[in-house]
A and B are shown apart, each in its own frame.
Chain A
Amino acid sequence: MNSLTILGLLPLIGSAALFLLPKGSDLLAKQVALGVSIVVAIAGLGMAFSFNRSATGFQFVEKHQWIPAFGINYALGVDGISLLLILLALVLTPVVIAACWHEAEGGRWSVKNFFGLILILETMIVGVFAATDIFLFYVFFEAMLIPVYFLIGGYGTGEKAAAAVKFLLYSLFGGLLMLASIIGLYVISGNQLQAPTFDVTALSQLSIDPVTQRMLFLGFFIAFAIKAPLWPFHTWLPDAARAATPGTSVLLLGVLDKVGTYGMIRFCLSLFPEASKEFGPTIIVLSLISIFYGAFLAIAQGTSSGDGNIKALISYTSISHFGFITLGIFAFTEQSHSGATLYMINHGFSTAALFLIAGWMISRRKSERISDFGGLQRVTPIMAWLFFIAGMSSLALPGLSSFVSEFLVLVGTFARYPIPAIIGTIGIIFAALYILIPVQRALHGPITPGNENLTDLTLREKVSIAPVIAVIIFFGFYPQPLLDVINPAASATLSALQITGIMGGK
């Protein structure tokens, strides 16, 4: 068995163990979940060190026949992009488990089920990023909806059932469109190759006529745009983020939604270069709309006097950030691509920090309204400062990790599309507003009645958030290790595009 399979299997075994635990052994369940996820994270990091950074193409490849009648293989492999995304998931999972120690209490089902679902989700995430067979990718893409659905619906707050259903239906709808495109690709591969296949590398060699290519591209792209989420396919996200527990939101926005942008790079660009080129400008416009739309709504949440919701605010900032990522992807320059990939990682960490700290604020204050957090700076300084750092990372302050990626995206975009790049830069100013206004009004403002006796972070909370903050600061100053892994993959994607004339054409 290959290392990727083991990596994916470990959390699954852990979750099976959790489900078998007797009722009421909550503490043991948490410890088992944390232990398993830490082991998986260490295993993943160990694997990353044996990753050959200079080579292109997939590594840790493994391939077994699954349904030979349809040419379906169980095929796994990672390149720089998917390796980093898997690591992101593996690192964030133990952080979430430790940070959300008490989150599952009061849920619809038992605590052990919550952590069991999180571990299942971890398996699915490893699978979805590691799959090099499109069919396998689709299976993971759909299957991972189910644990998230139960995590939101069973342990969330407010309109959780409705939000869970909305999330599921949007994703299923996108997934089915993608299925139609996958079938189309499969049939075309049967016509052009000796045998029909789902192998990504083989499929990228096909020559597809423009009309079909456009249709198939849209099938994939809409699925990924819903997942990412890109305006105007984003409407499920604020509801889901508001209803989900902070831990679920971290996994949902920080990791799961990256499947959308990852899919655009891995599938849309490499399988349909001509159509990507054709739709590129349109998608750049959508990205810009996303940047500003997310920013405006976040500012609206931050400035509204009474009922600005902190979880909704963070989810809107994410829409804005995803706009930057898609902008980078469809600007088709090496810098913008590296930046977009780096952005995916950094956004994962900064959103995780924001959501987790916001979650602690909410659980202490028993309120999600931004105006209720007044004066936390004085009452709970550590929590307030950490939130401030996470916020600064979110607005891409130089010295924090997001800055590098945002800078690369904008510089890279400027090389090809100067005006969108300039417009995008204006978006950064709004980013400053949506972070600074709530920070200034709430955290630094006068103490809201009821906040006087709030306690600061416990040791467990400090320990669990420490790695995230460390990553944010470390990669802010020294992003090179990440870029070393990303750059070969990014240039490989782009050179594939170049061959088919996307750069040379103009």
Chain B
Amino acid sequence: MNAPNIEYGILGPILIVLAAALIGVLIEAFVSRRYRYILQTGTAFAAVALAFLQLVLIRQTSSKAAVSSMSIDGVTIVLQGSVLIFGFLGLLLIAERGFQSFTAQAAAIPGSNEEQKALVSGLQQTEVFPLTLFAISGAMLFPAANDLLTLFVSLEVLSLPLYLMAGLSQRRRLLSQEAALKYFLLGAFSSAFFLFGSAFIYGQAGSTTFDGIRKSIVESGGSDQFLLVGLALLTVGLLFKVSAAPFHAWTPDVYQGSPTPVTAFMAAVTKVAAFGAAIRIYYFAVGGLVWSWRPILIAISIVTMAIGTVIAIAQKDIKRVLAYSAIAHSGFLLTGIIALSKDGLNATLIYLFTYGFTTIGTFAIVTLVRDSGGEVSDLNRWAGLGKRSPLVAGTFTLFLLGLAGIPLTSGFVGKFAIFTAAYKSGNISVVVAGVLASAIAAFFYIRIIVMMYFSDPVEDGTSVVIPSAMTVATIAICAVATLVMGIYPQPVISAINSLAFFAG
């Protein structure tokens, strides 16, 4: 009997990032503190760039890999590409050293002497880079998984580093640690549901691979209760990750408490990864059960849109507003899954790709508005930003318009594509709900714009700091992407349309 064949070439992108993460751990352990930052950032950026290169080389692949526990096909390529791009942008923000977003020593008690000492001596620990790389590799694995076990393991590889990263904030340590605790407990709770659901699906299908599940649904006609119970529990776990209502409660807390660069990274990358995995599950593995899961997802999508938009109106903290906006966007994205068609698949991938740039750009700008105590996230203190710094306010306006889905921004293209797909599949109710939710959402985005332009600045020490080239580059890339994909989206759309097929 021969050992199974591992396709190193097409698994290359994931393996490169994973290897770099492990090297990062070694660097953290063995290299002198003075060189760590430069080595860590060098490794991280090089790894992501190399992985992307490898991904471009294998872009025509469409096959199962690693004994059919993974599926490297067009959908995976698009999603992994998105994850790598957003991971790179997130890393640029995380590597910004001007702001001291990250605590020097995560283990030190907030306000203690050790912490002070570490801060004063400038001995910043750099464990955040390998953690980010682990999260990126998990996020690349998650949408590629073709097997319930791989899916579960990659979910944890993605989530565990994020739990830790949420607790690394330099300012407001307690808030940050609390966010980490909440994220961890709720995340672990949802993974338990996820795993228990997987057990039941396995119990019915007799196999953990998606191909096996798909086949067994065809054979059984999809009537078995085990399968339905399992799918319901699995859905709970997935919906938690994509922060759909009623499993969204962690989102605002974690978005607010985490260091903002981590929030930016998390908002874009986990959304891509989780929706990527959800697409493969609902489209490929349990597509045969569509009549069972579609009504539930429709209800959840509508509730998510409603909660995300309505509660956002009452928020006073910019990061919480953006968190609720992320929840609302999850509702919009679910309509793409509900569509269950090639159009829906294309639209979801386009939406994820455009949304990632806009959301990273938004959070990148949040890191710029500061006072002596760190970031200013109180919305009232953003008043008059248009006067103080027209360029930053203008760019932020662009991102908000993108999130609101106003024409000529990329957000509109995504929204149009996804609503069209849902309408085409006959699910007009979610389209109407989505349109109404967009109208409510426009209200709170515009409220921020009003605040920036039409209120007079209050002299309370709030200012816009001049960032280093890395943050500037991130914001510039995101702004250009938001605008270009809004005005001329054709190349991106046709690239995604031609790639997005599942391997049979």
Contacts and interface: CB of A to CB of B under 8 A. Distances in A.
Interface string B17-39: 00000000000000000000000
B408 A169 contact: no
B416 to A, nearest CB: 7
Contacts of A177: 435
A183 interface: yes
Interface of B: 406-408, 413, 416-417, 419-420, 423-424, 428, 431-432, 435-436, 438-439, 442-443, 446-447, 450, 453-455, 488-490, 493-494, 497
Interface residues of A, number: 31
A385 interface: no
A66 B490 contact: yes
Given A70-B417, A70-B420, A161 B450 contact: yes
A300 interface: no
Nearest to B443: A169
A125 interface: no
A423 interface: no
B454 A153 contact: yes
B226 to A, nearest CB: 37
Contact of A165 (B419, B431, B450, B497): B450
B454 A142 contact: no
B446 A176 contact: no
A337 interface: no
B431 A180 contact: yes
Provide the main secondary structure of the chain A interface: helix
A183 B416 contact: yes
A165 B416 CA distance: 24
A3 to B, nearest CB: 23
B408 A69 contact: no
A68 B435 contact: no
Contact of A169 (B446, B454, B490): B446
A178 to B, nearest CB: 9
Interface stretch (A184-192, A396-404, A413-421, A472-480): A184-192
Contacts of B450: 153, 161, 164-165
B420 to A, nearest CB: 5
B408 A187 contact: no
Contacts of B442: 168-169, 172-173, 176
A80 B497 CA distance: 40
B490 A180 contact: no
Given A69-B493, A169-B443, A180-B431, A160 B423 contact: no
Given A69-B494, A70-B417, A190 B435 contact: no
B231 to A, nearest CB: 29
Given A168-B446, A173-B439, A183 B453 contact: no
B69 to A, nearest CB: 33
A279 B446 CA distance: 34
A294 interface: no
14 contacts: A68-B494, A70-B417, A139-B407, A142-B406, A142-B407, A146-B406, A161-B455, A164-B450, A165-B447, A173-B442, A176-B438, A179-B435, A180-B431, A187-B424
A108 interface: yes
A187 B406 contact: no
Nearest to B456: A108
Contacts of B454: 108, 153-154, 160-161, 164
B453 A153 contact: yes
A160 B450 CA distance: 11
Contacts of A58: none
A68 B490 contact: yes
A168 B404 CA distance: 13
A143 interface: yes
A67 interface: yes
Contacts of A169: 439, 442-443, 446
A165 B448 CA distance: 11
Contacts of B435: 176-177, 179-180
A40 to B, nearest CB: 22
A67 B350 CA distance: 14
Which 10 pairs across A and B sit closest by C-beta, in order of nearness?
Answer: A161-B454, A139-B407, A69-B493, A180-B435, A173-B439, A176-B435, A142-B407, A172-B442, A176-B439, A187-B424
B439 A143 contact: no
A20 to B, nearest CB: 15
Interface in A54-110: 66-70, 108
Residue from A69, A186, A190 with most neighbouring chain B CB atoms (10 Å): A69
A51 interface: no
A96 B80 CA distance: 54
A138 interface: yes
B420 A183 contact: yes
A154 B424 contact: no
Contacts of A164: 450, 454
Given A161-B454, A165-B446, A69 B439 contact: no
B420 A187 contact: yes
B450 to A, nearest CB: 6
A153 B450 CA distance: 9
A448 to B, nearest CB: 33
B368 to A, nearest CB: 22
B407 A138 contact: yes
B407 A67 contact: no
A120 B470 CA distance: 33
